[in-house]
């Protein structure tokens, strides 16, 4: 009898917990704060957590003390004033009344968020026998580089985004580095060597994911072109609300019956079945709608990975973000990837309240997508458009270091180094010797007679063929719109393109194929980015 009553009480407690979160009198810190953390230099650094409503909290670091008061929900936040870089380990102290939390070995430097799918997730220990990062890993002891690895956690799209993630800051050692992002590490270590400042790297990624789950709900509704996503989110939210309401009502009725049964010494009634439903998304997935908020949606749902893996990080002060994703959106035939990027970047920046912080994109590498081949150049085009049109963005090309037979090309060192090159130039204003920090970027095309003259930015000293052979992967089309392979030659800092069978070119494109491995580069050895253009 007592065990049945305990079950009833426990279920009632669960429902009550879901409906009304409670505050604690003890100070609770966000898990973003642990020993070995890196605070962001030259910016206000938020420190936050939870306590009893009205409770006073003080935060002290490096001779500075700031105060905060927990609000009606128990949430509190204090902001440390901007501080210069410091490699000296110091304590961060959080106090309230008789309770004091002391975090040790805290540095001040630059913090970067590393996010995306499997090519960002690809660890230093590698996934394939042919990938040999052993030497770099063996030399991976860096006391002033700190790692924060967010576990893969999804969260219900219609529920409240998660506030915590079970992770801690760690010093960079071969042991802690083995499972960490190779691209993130090579990016961070290159910056560390160049700037001589502590580096904090936050890895939050999930292999095989579309961009959609990384975008918060607010991001979708800030971009008018994402109407299908908006309609789907509204439909899901309405259906979820109905299901939750019906399920909780059924559970409440069951609890009343269960209590009466216990009091009368009768058998417990059957619990109501979990009501479930499905609805088609605009991304060709059939997502299962759970009946209640404590069951997560599948991780591909729009907003779920933002809710579970990005929201808990906000508003930890960061310098910027590096992003390596897009392969999955090739396979899902995403024709709106630019607008998805726009929604993601704009919403992250808005929620972080740090202005247009740097956002640097890796252009996904060439890979033989088979029947989906047509869509990779469109993702490339969307990535380049984002880098050019969205403020404070940049793009690192991988056209020369991919593997058309391996969607996870192993040369992560070069990817990280190229991202760092962009950051050094655009964020820290350290100009490379040849004044280029990316491969040649299409600027314009002059259609004249039977030829097209291509103009580029990021040329530097000159354009070159990587292998000394004639330039490849240039194509022209005439009035019929059919593209043919064309001859291309470097003339000064331009490329002149002709095709014997095209007397009046109307369109030109370069490396617009998922298996393209073009040889055009600048003197810095950086590959030209794909493009296509038409005669006005």
Neighbours of 167 (CB within 10 A): 21
Residue 400 lies inside a defined structural domain of this protein:
yes
Q: How far is CA 123 from CA 166, 180, 182, 294, 412, in A?
A: 19, 5, 5, 31, 9
Strands 393-396 and 441-448: unpaired
- Note the pLDDT of residue 274: 52
Position 21 scores a pLDDT of 39
pLDDT at 153: 86
Let me know: does 398 contact 360? Beta carbons within 8 Å. no
Does pLDDT of 34 surpass 50? Answer: yes
Cα–Cα distance measured from residue 502 to residue 30, given in angstroms and rounded to the nearest whole number: 64
Confidence label for 103 from pLDDT (cuts 50, 70 and 90): very high
User: Which residue's structure tokens are 């009466």?
Assistant: 260
Q: For tokens 């907003």, what's the residue?
A: 303
Within a domain: 309: yes
Residue 126 pLDDT grade (very low, low, confident, very high; cuts 50, 70, 90)? confident
- Using CB atoms within 10 A of its CB, is residue 452 exposed (0-12), middle (13-18) or buried (19+)? buried
Residues 394, 457: one domain? no
- Of the residues 426, 461, 494, the one at which a domain ends: 426
CA distance 402 to 322: 19
pLDDT at 259: 79
- Which segment of 5-19, 207-221, 262-276 scores lowest on mean pLDDT? 5-19
Strand partners, 68: 57
Residues 487 and 405 grouped into a single domain: no
Instruction: List all residues 6 or more positions away from 390 whose beta carbon is below 8 Å from its beta carbon.
Output: 341, 342, 345, 346, 359
Looking at the structure, do residues 419 and 445 belong to the same domain, yes or no? Answer: no
Helix ranges restricted to H, 201-291: 217-221, 227-264
Same-domain status, 332 and 192:
yes
Residue written as token pair 């502590």: 198
Question: Contact, 180 vs 122, CB < 8 A?
Answer: no
pLDDT digits (tens, 9 = 90+) for 458-497: 999 999 999 999 999 999 999 999 999 999 999 999 999 9
**C-alpha pair distances (Å), 124 with each of 136, 176, 191, 411, 433:** 8, 10, 18, 11, 30
- Statement to judge: residues 308 and 170 lie in one domain: yes
Residues facing residue 202 across a β-bridge:
113, 148
Mean residue pLDDT across the chain: 88
Q: What is the pLDDT of residue 212?
A: 94
Percent of the chain topping pLDDT 90: 76
Tally the C-alpha atoms within 13 A of residue 507's C-alpha that lie toward its C-beta. Answer: 14
Q: Are 213 and 300 in contact (CB under 8 A)?
A: yes
The encoded tokens of residue 78 equal: 């204090």
Tell me the residue range of the domain where 475 lies: 441-534
The residue from 365, 396, 426 where one domain ends is 426
Over residues 199-219, the pLDDT tens digits come to 999 999 999 999 999 999 999
3-state secondary structure (DSSP) of residue 191: helix
Q: What share of the chain is helix, strand, coil (3-state, %, to 5)?
A: 30, 25, 45
Do 451 and 372 share a structural domain? no
Q: What is the CA radius of gyration of the chain?
A: 27
Query: How far is Cα 170 from Cα 191, in angstroms, rounded to an integer?
Result: 18
The Cα-based distances of 255 to 10, 138, 261, 271, 293 in angstroms read: 11, 59, 10, 9, 19
Q: Could you tell me the pLDDT band of residue 160, with boundaries at 50, 70 and 90?
A: confident
Q: Which residue has the higher pLDDT, 234 or 342?
A: 342
- Same domain? For 503 and 369 the reply is no
Confidence at residue 128, expressed as pLDDT on a 0 to 100 scale: 61
List pLDDT tens digits, range 373-390: 999 999 999 999 999 999
Residues 199 and 85 in one domain: yes
Question: What pLDDT is attached to residue 289?
Answer: 39
* One domain, residues 389 and 482: no
- 231: in domain: no
Residue 343 pLDDT > 60: yes
* Count of domains observed in the chain: 2
Q: Look at residue 432 in the predicted model and tell me its pLDDT.
A: 81
Say which range, 39-48, 183-192, 224-233, has the weakest mean pLDDT.
224-233
Looking at the structure, tell me whether residues 46 and 161 fall in a common domain. Answer: yes
Tokens describing residue 48: 């936050």
Using a 10 angstrom Cβ sphere, with 0-12 exposed, 13-18 middle and 19 or more buried, the burial of residue 448 is exposed
d(CA 106, CA 119): 30
- Final residue belonging to a domain, choices 426, 449, 467: 426
Under a CB-based contact definition with an 8 Å cutoff, are residues 157 and 301 in contact? yes
Q: What is the largest CA-CA distance in the chain?
A: 96
Helix (H, G, I), strand (E, B) or coil at 164: coil
The answer to whether position 289 is within a domain reads no
Looking at the fold, whether 49 and 105 belong to one and the same domain comes out as yes
User: Counting every residue, how long is the chain?
Assistant: 536
Choose among 533, 361, 326: nearest CA to 442: 533
Cβ–Cβ under 8 Å, residues 259 and 9: no
Question: Would 236 be classed as within a structural domain?
Answer: no
**Residues 478/506, Cβ–Cβ less than 8 Å:** yes
CATH code for position 496:
2.60.40
- The answer to whether residue 4 scores a pLDDT higher than 80 is no
pLDDT, residue 12, reads 42
Kindly state whether residue 4 falls inside one of the protein's structural domains: no
pTM of the model: 0.87
Q: Is residue 12 part of a domain?
A: no
Reported as a single tens digit per residue, the pLDDT across 271-317 is 665 544 444 444 433 333 344 433 334 688 889 899 999 999 999 99
- Name the nearest CA neighbour of 157 among 290, 278, 19: 290
Q: Is residue 390 domain-shared with residue 449, that is, in the same domain?
A: no
| pLDDT at residue 182 greater than cutoff 90 | yes
What tokens does 258 get? 């269960």
CB atoms within 10 A of CB 292: 18
- Distance separating alpha carbons of residues 168 and 32, to the nearest angstrom: 7
For Cα atoms 143, 149, 154, give the angle at the middle one, nearest 5 degrees.
Answer: 170
DSSP-derived pairing of the beta strands 320-324 and 359-362:
parallel
| Joined tokens for residue 320 | 């910027």
Query: Which residue's structure tokens are 């591909």?
Result: 300
Q: What is the pLDDT of residues 425-442, one digit of tens each?
A: 999 999 887 789 999 999
Tell whether the model's pLDDT for residue 51 goes beyond 60: yes
Question: Model confidence over 312-340: pLDDT tens digits?
Answer: 999 999 999 999 999 999 999 999 999 99
Asked if omega into 179 is within 30° of 0 (cis), the reply is no
Residue 516 has pLDDT above 70, yes or no: yes
Asked if 434 contacts 488 with a C-beta cutoff of 8 angstroms, the reply is no
CATH of the domain at 369: 3.40.50.1110
């Amino acid at each position: 009898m007592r065990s049945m009553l305990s079950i009833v009480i426990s279920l009632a407690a669960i429902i009550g917990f879901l409906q009304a979160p409670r505050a604690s009198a003890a100070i609770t810190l966000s898990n973003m704060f642990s020993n070995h953390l890196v605070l962001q230099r030259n910016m206000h650094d938020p420190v936050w957590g939870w306590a009893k409503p009205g409770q006073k909290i003080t935060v002290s670091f490096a001779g500075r003390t700031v105060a905060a008061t927990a609000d009606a929900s128990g949430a509190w936040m204090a902001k440390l004033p901007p501080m210069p870089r410091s490699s000296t380990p110091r304590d961060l102290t959080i106090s309230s009344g008789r309770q004091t939390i002391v975090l040790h070995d805290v540095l001040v430097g630059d913090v970067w968020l590393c996010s995306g799918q499997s090519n960002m997730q690809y660890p230093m220990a590698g996934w394939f026998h042919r990938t040999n990062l052993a030497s770099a890993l063996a030399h991976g002891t860096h006391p002033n580089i700190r790692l924060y690895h967010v576990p893969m956690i999804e969260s219900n799209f219609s529920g409240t985004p998660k506030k915590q993630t079970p992770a801690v800051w760690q010093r960079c050692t071969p042991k802690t580095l083995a499972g960490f992002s190779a691209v993130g590490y090579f990016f961070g270590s290159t910056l560390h060597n160049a700037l001589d400042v502590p580096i904090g790297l936050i890895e939050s990624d999930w292999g095989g994911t579309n961009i959609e789950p990384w975008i918060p709900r607010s991001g979708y509704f800030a971009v008018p072109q994402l109407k299908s996503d908006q309609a789907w989110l509204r439909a899901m939210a309405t259906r979820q609300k109905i299901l939750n309401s019906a399920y909780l009502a059924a559970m409440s009725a069951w609890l009343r019956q269960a209590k009466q049964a216990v009091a009368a010494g009768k058998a417990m009634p059957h619990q109501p079945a979990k009501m479930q439903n499905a609805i088609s998304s605009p991304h060709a997935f059939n997502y299962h709608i759970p009946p209640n908020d404590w069951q997560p949606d599948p991780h591909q749902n729009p907003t779920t990975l933002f809710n579970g893996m990005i929201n808990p990080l906000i508003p930890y002060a960061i310098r910027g973000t590096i992003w390596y994703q897009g392969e999955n959106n090739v396979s899902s035939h995403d024709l709106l990837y630019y607008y998805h990027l726009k929604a993601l970047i704009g919403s992250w920046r808005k929620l972080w309240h740090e202005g247009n912080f740097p956002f640097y994109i890796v252009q996904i590498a060439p890979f033989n997508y088979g029947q989906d081949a047509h869509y990779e150049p469109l993702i490339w085009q969307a990535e380049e458009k984002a880098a050019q049109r969205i403020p404070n963005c940049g793009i690192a090309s991988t056209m020369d270091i991919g593997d058309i037979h391996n969607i996870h090309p192993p040369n992560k060192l070069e990817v990280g180094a190229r991202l760092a090159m962009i950051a050094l130039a655009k964020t820290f204003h350290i100009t490379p010797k040849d004044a280029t920090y990316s491969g040649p970027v299409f600027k314009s095309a002059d259609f004249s007679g039977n030829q097209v003259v291509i103009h580029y930015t990021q040329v530097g000293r000159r354009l070159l063929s990587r292998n000394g052979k004639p330039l490849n992967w240039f194509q022209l089309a005439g009035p019929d719109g059919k593209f043919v392979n064309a001859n291309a030659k470097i003339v000064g800092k331009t490329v002149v393109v002709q095709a014997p069978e095209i007397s009046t070119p109307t369109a030109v494109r370069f490396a617009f194929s998922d298996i393209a491995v073009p040889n055009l580069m600048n003197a810095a050895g950086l590959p030209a980015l794909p493009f296509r253009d038409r005669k006005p």
